[in-house]
């Protein structure tokens, strides 16, 4: 029997077998009909792929053997290999996936009572160059494909206990999601389907450095994704220093685009603000931020900076964070301080790819 799981990665890449997870149910039904297989078989396969979380064709025991052989000869199952799987003391889990071209990508599952959130990546590396983030240190290598984005979801789903379900998705891993919208949107579309994860768009948060034209494009597609913008500074001078891509954009243009997003979708936008000690965390900066966001449909998420050992920047103290948050609250701006998750396995925001970055820099 031909078993795609037994192929080496390169063989799969050379054979160019598409992953089964890239197919929608109607597409799989179509495939069945083209191969003179009864249409209802597609529904059976889908049940194995999604609610049953199968790991290989062999598990699909209610399919005839010749059909399983045909599937294995026509599709690959997974298209990445799990290079490492780490579990943090707070039960955050991180997968390092090896892609067919020997590039790596990371994705994370985080647990809270009644909430299981996964964080997925959209690019190998990142071109944005934020000075406090490890993911972008070696720059951008390439976009992830739709199938590679989906694979993170299906791989993480298979780490969960039988009764456990993914409740939220944050597109906040490695890369700039809005720079890869063409591959991201079809992946998210697949998750909405009733027979896959049946995921509502409101439970998916897309985090962006703030690309105005792409924010407008996202506003117009008729979905109500939660949008988070990584602002990190209340004025252009400072923002351009710590988020270099800002030099070509500017905060005002971003805020106009997010207002448009709110008008089109009715969704309040979240502004993320990493607190960097002595850089953007003074009371004056908090007041400036409050003025900037006043009367906008916003929510501020203050993020304690996660340590990046390669960088010379530190996070603000808890006391500074509380003072900053009080100033915003007093000005009527809803503010939360983000909980840190998975820091002991380098799984927190900004730390993804850190071990690989260390390797690359060492040469």
Residues tagged active-site: 106, 349
- Residue from 19, 230, 246, 335 that binds ligand SAH (CB under 6 A)? 230
> Can you tell me the distance from the alpha carbon of 87 to that of 94, in angstroms, rounded to the nearest whole number?
7
Distances from the Cα of 189 to the Cαs of 129, 149, 150, 174, 354, in angstroms? Answer: 29, 12, 10, 20, 30
Nearer Cβ to ligand SAH, position 274 or 345?
A: 274
Q: Is 276 exposed, middle or buried (0-12, 13-18, 19+ CB in 10 A)?
A: buried
Give the nearest distance from C-beta 349 to ligand SAH in angstroms.
Answer: 3
> By CB under 6 A, is residue 269 in contact with ligand SAH?
no
Q: How far apart are CA 225 and CA 258, in angstroms?
A: 13
Classify residue 150 by its DSSP letter: H
Per CB under 6 A, the list member of 67, 274, 300, 357 interacting with ligand SAH is 274
Determine if 233 is a binding residue for ligand SAH (CB under 6 A).
Answer: no
Which position among 37, 308, 354, 357 is part of the footprint of ligand SAH (CB under 6 A)?
A: 308
Nearest CB to ligand SAH, comparing residues 147 and 215: 215
Q: How far is the CB of 152 from ligand SAH (least distance, A)?
A: 14
238 binds ligand SAH (CB under 6 A): no
Q: Does 226 help bind ligand SAH (rule: CB under 6 A)?
A: no
Pick one of 148, 176, 285, 346: the residue that binds ligand SAH (CB under 6 A).
Answer: 176
Q: How far is the CB of 40 from ligand SAH (least distance, A)?
A: 41
Can you tell me which of 151, 272, 285, 346 binds ligand SAH, judged by CB under 6 A?
272
Among the residue ranges 149-157, 158-166, 201-209, 212-220, the one whose residues contact ligand SAH (CB under 6 A): 201-209
Kindly indicate which of the ranges 61-69, 86-94, 205-213, 245-253 contains the residues binding ligand SAH, using the contact rule CB under 6 A. 205-213
Output the smallest distance, CB 122 to ligand SAH, in A: 8
Token pair in block for residue 11: 């063989």
Which positions from 104 through 163 interact with ligand SAH, judged by CB under 6 A? Answer: 128, 130, 132-133
* Residues 6+ away with beta carbon under 8 Å from 236: 246, 250, 251
Give the span between the Cα atoms of 355 and 357, in whole angstroms. 5
Residue 251 interacting with ligand SAH (CB under 6 A): no
Q: How far, in Å, CA of 302 to CA of 316, rounded? A: 11
CB atoms within 10 A of CB 68: 20
Contacting ligand SAH (CB under 6 A), which of 172, 181, 185, 187? 172
Residue 121 vs 145, nearer CB to ligand SAH: 121
What would the DSSP string read from start to end of 197-255? T---GGGEEEEES--HHHHHHHHTTS---EEEEE---SSHHHHHHHSGGGGGT-HHHHH
Residue 19 or 280 having the CB closest to ligand SAH: 280
- Under the criterion CB under 6 A, does residue 300 sit at the interface with ligand SAH? no
Tell me the three-class secondary structure of 254-301, residue by residue. HHHHHHHHHHHHCCCEEEEEEEECCCCCCHHHHHHHHHHHCCCCEEEE
Whether 56 and 3 have beta carbons less than 8 Å apart is answered as yes
Phi and psi at residue 201, in whole multiples of 5°? Answer: -65, -25
Residues that bind ligand SAH (CB under 6 A): 128, 130, 132-133, 172, 176, 207-209, 230, 272, 274, 303, 305-306, 308, 349-350
């Amino acid at each position: 029997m031909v078993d795609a799981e037994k192929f080496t990665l390169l063989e799969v890449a050379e054979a160019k077998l598409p992953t089964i997870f890239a197919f929608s149910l109607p597409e799989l039904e179509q495939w069945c009909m083209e191969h003179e297989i009864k249409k209802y078989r597609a529904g059976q396969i889908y049940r194995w792929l999604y609610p049953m979380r199968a790991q290989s064709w062999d598990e699909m025991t209610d399919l005839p053997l010749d059909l399983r052989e045909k599937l294995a000869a026509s599709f690959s199952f997974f298209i990445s290999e799990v290079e490492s799987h780490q579990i943090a003391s707070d039960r955050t889990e991180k997968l390092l996936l090896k892609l067919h071209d020997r590039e790596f990508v990371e994705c994370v599952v985080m647990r809270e009572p009644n909430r299981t959130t996964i964080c997925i990546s959209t690019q190998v590396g990142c071109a944005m160059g934020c000075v406090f983030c490890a993911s972008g240190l070696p720059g951008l290598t390439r976009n992830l494909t739709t199938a590679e984005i989906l694979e993170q979801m299906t791989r993480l789903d298979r780490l969960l206990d039988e009764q456990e379900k993914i409740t939220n998705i944050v597109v906040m891993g490695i890369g700039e999601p809005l720079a890869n919208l063409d591959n991201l949107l079809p992946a998210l579309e697949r998750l909405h389907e009733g027979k896959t994860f049946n995921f509502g768009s409101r439970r998916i948060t897309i985090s962006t450095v703030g690309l105005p034209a792409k924010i407008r494009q996202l506003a117009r597609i008729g979905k109500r994704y939660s949008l988070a913008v990584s602002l990190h500074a209340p004025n252009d001078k400072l923002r351009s220093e710590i988020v270099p891509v800002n030099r070509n954009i500017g905060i005002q243009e971003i805020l106009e685009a997010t207002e448009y997003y709110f008008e089109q979708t009715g969704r309040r936008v979240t502004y993320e603000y990493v607190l960097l000690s002595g850089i953007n965390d003074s009371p004056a900066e908090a007041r400036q931020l409050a003025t900037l966001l006043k009367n906008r449909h916003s929510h501020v998420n203050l993020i304690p900076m996660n340590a990046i050992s390669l960088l010379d920047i530190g996070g603000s103290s808890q006391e500074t964070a509380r003072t900053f948050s009080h100033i915003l609250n007093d000005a009527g701006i809803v503010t939360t301080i983000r909980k840190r998750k998975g820091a002991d396995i380098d799984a927190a925001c900004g730390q993804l790819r850190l071990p690989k970055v260390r390797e690359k820099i060492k040469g």
